[in-house]
Every structure is written in structure tokens, then in C-alpha cells.
A and B are shown apart, each in its own frame.
Chain A
Amino acid sequence: MTSLEYAPSPETTKPQIRERYGLFVAGDWVAPQSERYFDTIDPSNESVLAKVAYAGAADVDRAVRSARKAYEKYWSKMKPAERAKYVFRIARAITERSRELAVLETMNGGKPIKESRDFDIPTSAAHFFYYAGWADKLEWAMRAGREARPIGVCGQIVPWNFPLLMAAWKIAPALACGNTVVLKPAETTPLTALALAQIVQEADLPPGTVNVLTGDGATGAALVEHPGTDKIAFTGSTEVGKAIRRAIAGTMKRLTLELGGKAAHIVFDDAPMDQAVEGIVNGIYFNQGHVCCAGSRLLVQESVHDEIVVRLTERLQTLRLGDPLDKNTDIGAVNSKAQLDKIRELVRSGIDQGATLVQQSCALPERGYYFPASFFTGVQQSHRIAREEIFGPVLSILTFRTPDEAIEKANNTPYGLSAGIWTDKGSKNMYVAERMRAGVVWCNTFNLFDPSSPFGGYRESGFGREGGVHGLREYLAH
């Protein structure tokens, strides 16, 4: 018997990282008026990658004013076909620099290089390509006889799980429609947003069309409350989403929110079992489970529960956890210490409430924030791990007996972002899919995305859509 031990295969591209980053305002890099900088780290080894400017209220004001000026003077006045060229140029630049961006995303966020290389960066470019094509065809997104007009200055706040991709989802349609942007990347993952700012600068967009402000929650709050923003687009936690909605109540600001989820992933006894297991693995362990639409609640028909658990337990052992830059790594680093603590706390609650924990058996690296791929069996609807979003590589397995029971349990959550269904029977797939209270339902697949397909939730998962023509309309005046 020979073993095929995979030798280390690290991605060797070295991205350019500056020692210190200013804010990107009015087409230029400026020192923050706050005079403060903060460290941004690599969560896989806790080393400091760079110092990043902290945008305070005065910086937010300056950025919003520059976006307003760019909106009124250049961007909304430009011929749509010209705007398209600029957006297209950004897409091209992302493609050309894809390897460097992938490495940067992995270093700053902890996700495996295979994901940033094969998903995050190409999909980011795809969104810019897609919306570049819309820029001079906006009337086709409107009801007949209505004029397509931009909204104005958009404050866009993105999370740390897909830093560049979430920025692309927001910036691309905004620009295509003639809006200008102030982007606030997440506190822990600013580097690809800053690389995007460089791309915007090199693409020679009119100064102020895209501004990037690094900072924390207070920076985001200042952007939300600034009277100069006409629209807020936020992706992040439900808690912050609620605070934003309260903050802008009574103003004329437009709002889209893409928030948390606790998606049901339903496996019927007639499912293609091996592919269902792959779907489950992809659904919960992709990006260490830092996915708002993760299939974190597995609902398995009782008659195949044991079979699924056996297969999943075996499959866990083939997942490779470790250096996110290694091309063979399946599970990278958790994004931050705070998130790791939160995952640990919820896993403890699962054990305390009587569920059974199964984990991949592997040594965790000594430095960095890691959590092994895990699942719980014996989970009840009332357990915290069945109700709260863990946002980590932890799956809760529950059972059901009939399709209607599956539907009832799947919908028994305040969230409504995504759902997954596995069955070989088409009619059953359709019956269940149309009863899911979720923005996106995947049938016999999971986590599939395309720029032309709208994405978003309802209830406590937010409202508004991103992607497709629906996502475009969110950036056009009513």
C-alpha cells in the first residue's frame, strides 16, 4: 500500500501590499483627517499586513461631498455608452490582476486560495462585465414609458466574508446606472477594496466617482447618517441592518439590506446521495461557513439519516484544513478572533443543550484562527444551534418524516435568504421549492451564483435584490 500524501503546494504570487494605506477620496489617496491608522492582519498567522487609515466623521463628509460633486459634474451627465467603457475597464483590470487579487483576498480574509482564485475574483469580474453591458440599455429595465434615472450618491457597506465580490455586487450596478459611490469595506478585510480603488484610479474614472473609506462600525454609521447619501446598500448582520433601518427612518433614502440566514438544506430519501453529501459539504464548509446563505440547517428524511451521517462523517476526514495559500486547502482560517470566539460559544451551547458533535480529526495550526469542520446530530428546533446563525463551519442536522413536515421546519425561522432541496423527483422538487420562504432556492445543487441571477432575502434576511435586472433597478430612481 502506498500513500499519496499531498506535498505543500503554496501559491507563490506575491501581491503588492503597501506599508500604509490612506483613504481613497476624489480620485486620490489622502491622509485621514482622523489622523488614526489601524492594523490589518492575516488571520491564518496573526501577522500584520499593513496599516490602514481610519475614516472618522470628517473623512466621511469629505468623501460624500466628493461623490456628490462627481455625480453632478461628470458621472450622471456622461453618455451611458461612455460609462459602460469605464465599468468594462474595471472588469478587465480585475481579470488581468486576478491572481494577485486572489492571493490578497486569501491573505487578508483567511479563505482558501482555490476559492478566491476560482470563485471570488472571477465572479467579481463577471459582475462588472455584466453591468457594463447594461449601462446604455437601462430603459429596458424600466416599465414602458418610464425614464431610467440614477439615484445619486450611494453609501455601500460590505462584509468581510466575500470582500471584493460584495464590493463588486454593489459598485458595478451603481456605476452602470450613473450613481457615484462611497464604499466602506469591513474592518478586518480592507485590502482588496483598496486594490480595487487602485484599479479605479488607473482606469481613470472621474475623481470622486468611487471613494473608499476604511474604518469600523462608526465609520459605517456616519456614512448611513450623512445627509448627503441618497441610498444605502448594506450587507452584514441582521442586528446592524435593523440599526441602519432605524437610523434612516423618516428620510428619503433608499435602502437595500442583505442580512443573515439560517438556511434549510433538505435531503429526501430519494436524493442522489453522494451528490447530496457534496452539496451539504459545499453548503456549510465553503469559506469556513462564513456565508450568509450557507446551508446551515440540514433537514434529513428520517429513513436516510444514518446513511447521510455515515457518508458525511467519512467525507469530513478528506477535507484538508490548513494554510489558506496552499492550493489543496479546503478549509482555511476563520476570519477573526472575534468570529472564532462566537463559533466556539455557539458550539458549546450545542453540546450543553444535548446535541452530539462530530468533527474532522486533524491537528489545527498553532498560530492563526482555525476551527475544524463540524456537525451536530440530535439537534432540536428549539436549540440555539438550530436557530442562531453560527457563521462558521458548523452544521446542525435535524430530521423530518414527510415533505410537509420538511417545509414546515424549513420555514420555521425568522430568516429567509436561501434553501436547498435534494430529491431525484422533479415534481417533489417543485412542490417544495415553491413553498420555501427564501429568496433563493437551489434544487440538487447549492451555492451557485451568476451575475444575471438576482440574489437577496426576505423577513430578517433583508430586502432588495443584487444581481440581474432586479439588482439594476435598485440603483434607478422610482
Chain B
Amino acid sequence: MPATVDAVMLEARAGALAKRSIKTTSKIAGIRLAVTCIDLTTLEGKDSEGRVRSLCAKAIRPAQHLPDVPSVAAVCVYPSLVAVAKDALRGSSVLVASVATAFPSGLSSPAVRLDDVRAAIAAGADEIDMVIDRGAFLSGKDRAVYDEIVAVKRICGELHLKVILETGELGSYDAVRRASDLALEAGADFIKTSTGKVGTNATFPVAVVMCEAIRDYARRTGRAVGLKVAGGVRTTKQALTYLVIVNETLGEAWLTPERFRVGASSLLDDLLMQYEKQLTGNYAGPDYFPKD
């Protein structure tokens, strides 16, 4: 029988994990880890080549005066800007992730959605962030959703495929669990919470549910799938809580950019500020860090 989720106890559990106290040495380690797990993201209609190049520079070296802060995991952009990002990131360890399948709604024709993926890969994308067709999922056409993920994965081949469930549109934790299970079975390398384009983005309880699905799937099949939380993650405190959730649900082995990502834009600024505070004991003003 399908796994079900009870909201009351789930939210209590997520609330308890959010109260873990991460201080001193573990805060420094947590901030560094969070930076390495960031998919530094810009997904706006007004994105330009200049904007993407600026973001890429920051992705490689987040702050000039904090040279020991590592690079982020990836830069995440629209397909048409993949080539620019690829060029700007040449020689660095930072990957290029591209959204695809008619992000963010996923409501183009099936052929256009798959072509979107092919175009992104042709432009040099290292990772694909696809959206599922929520309309199909919510009207019970789970098979169609499953088949599309399989098709996209076939196009991706070895490239990492992140499947965006858009949990804010799914309406219940049961549905989040069902969509997670479906994406895992279909071959996702990561399951991802949100596009960042709807009212509700990643939340702690949703992350717990998705971690539980990943854990149960790994236990059954031996295959380790990653988690990406995205949208609304702006503060160090939030990022550390997600690390705690992953740590206590999936275990230490998931605390790596291979298996955990945070999709965010302004989060990096707060991480840098908190990092410097840990080192010096003082907060520098926001203008002491590059805004991108």
C-alpha cells in the first residue's frame, strides 16, 4: 500500500529539527558545507548575459576577502543562458544546471518539453532541472508523469536529472510523498521541492517527507538519490536546518553536493555574513559583500 503521511506529527518532527542548536565550530562547518551545496540561481525574465556572468564570478569565488570560502556547486539558469554560464565558468569546478521541460509550469506540448531538454544539453548544461506536469499528476495521470521523467532521463543519459515536484501546488503531504516515490522510481538523480515561482516554496516538513521517501527508496534499491530544496531559502538559519533535516533523516552520507543542493540566490550573501561573524565576532554591513 502507498506510504501515507500524517501532517500533525510530521510538522512536530520538522519543528523539533528546526530547533537544533548549531553553534561555534559546527556552525562554521555547516556554513561551508551549505556554500558547497548551493545552486546559485537566477531565473527571471530580465536575465541577461551580463547578469549571468556576474553571478558566475561570485559562484567561483563568493567573497574576495574570504578566500577559504569554497565555490558553490552549480549555477542554475534558463536554457538560453547556458552557453554564457558555461563560458564564464570555464576552468572552475562549478557546474551549469539548466531548467527545462517548459519551466516553470511544464505546460507546453510533450515534444517542446523534450526539445527544451535537448537544447539545454546541446548548449553545454551539466545538470537538468525538469518540472513535472502537475496538472497531469493532480488529475491522476501518474503514468504520464512517470513516462515523461523516464523520457527526459533517457535524453540526459549520464547527466544529473533533478525532478522538480513543485510541492506548493500538490496540496497535501500525501501527494508530496506520492510524487517523490514516482520520481524516484522513474530514475531521478535528485528530487527537488520547488520552482521558486509559486506562493509556497520549500518548507521544513516537505523536506522531511522527501528525505523519508529517498531513505526508503535507498533502503529498498540501494540507489542513493539526492534532495534539492529551492525557493525562499534566504537565511543561514534556514540552510542549517535543512542540513540538520538531511543529517538526521538520511544520515551523514547525504551531506555532500553530490546528494544535497539548495537552490537560492540571496542565501549566499547571508552565509558569507554569518561566516565572517563566526570568524571575527562582528557583523560587517551588507555592503562589504558583493550583491549579485
A9 touches B256 (CB 8 A): no
Cα A6 to Cα B21 in complex, Å, equals 8
Instruction: List, in ascending order, chain A residues with CB within 8 A of B212's CB.
Output: 274
A4 touches B252 (CB 8 A): yes
Tell me whether B143 is interfacial, beta carbon within 8 Å: no
B25 touches A7 (CB 8 A): yes
CB < 8 Å neighbour of B6 from A9, A114, A275, A327: A275
CB < 8 Å neighbour of A9 from B1, B13, B23, B33: B23
- Which residue in chain A gives the minimum CB-CB distance to B256? A1
Instruction: List, in ascending order, chain A residues with CB within 8 A of B279's CB.
Output: none
The B interface is mostly helix, strand or loop, or mixed, namely helix
> Closest 3 A-B residue pairs measured CB to CB?
A275-B9, A9-B21, A327-B21
Instruction: List, in ascending order, chain A residues with CB within 8 A of B23's CB.
Output: 7, 9
CB A215 to nearest CB in B, in angstroms, measures 37
- Which residue in chain B gives the minimum CB-CB distance to A272? B6
Tell me whether A358 is interfacial, beta carbon within 8 Å: no
The 0/1 profile, CB within 8 Å of A marked 1, for residues 133-151 of chain B is: 0000000000000000000
Tell me whether B4 is interfacial, beta carbon within 8 Å: yes
B5 touches A275 (CB 8 A): yes
Instruction: List, in ascending order, chain B residues with CB within 8 A of A282's CB.
Output: 12
Tell me whether A444 is interfacial, beta carbon within 8 Å: yes
Tell me whether B19 is interfacial, beta carbon within 8 Å: yes
B13 touches A4 (CB 8 A): no
CB < 8 Å neighbour of B9 from A2, A9, A114, A278: A278
Tell me whether B154 is interfacial, beta carbon within 8 Å: no
Instruction: List, in ascending order, chain A residues with CB within 8 A of B10's CB.
Output: 272, 274-275, 278
Given contacts A3-B29, A275-B10, 17 further A-B contacts (CB under 8 A): A2-B33, A2-B252, A4-B26, A4-B33, A4-B252, A5-B26, A6-B22, A6-B26, A7-B26, A9-B22, A272-B5, A274-B10, A327-B19, A328-B20, A424-B4, A444-B8, A445-B9
> Which A residues are closer than 8 A to B by beta carbons?
1-7, 9, 114, 118, 269-276, 278-279, 282, 310, 318, 327-328, 424, 444-445
Instruction: List, in ascending order, chain B residues with CB within 8 A of A272's CB.
Output: 3-6, 9-10
A7 touches B24 (CB 8 A): yes
Cα A3 to Cα B254 in complex, Å, equals 10
Cα A9 to Cα B25 in complex, Å, equals 11
Cα A437 to Cα B166 in complex, Å, equals 45
Instruction: List, in ascending order, chain B residues with CB within 8 A of A270's CB.
Output: 1, 4
A-B contact pairs, 23 of them (CB 8 A): A1-B253, A1-B256, A2-B255, A3-B252, A4-B22, A4-B29, A4-B30, A4-B244, A4-B255, A5-B29, A7-B24, A272-B3, A272-B5, A272-B9, A272-B10, A274-B5, A275-B9, A278-B13, A327-B19, A424-B4, A444-B8, A445-B8, A445-B9
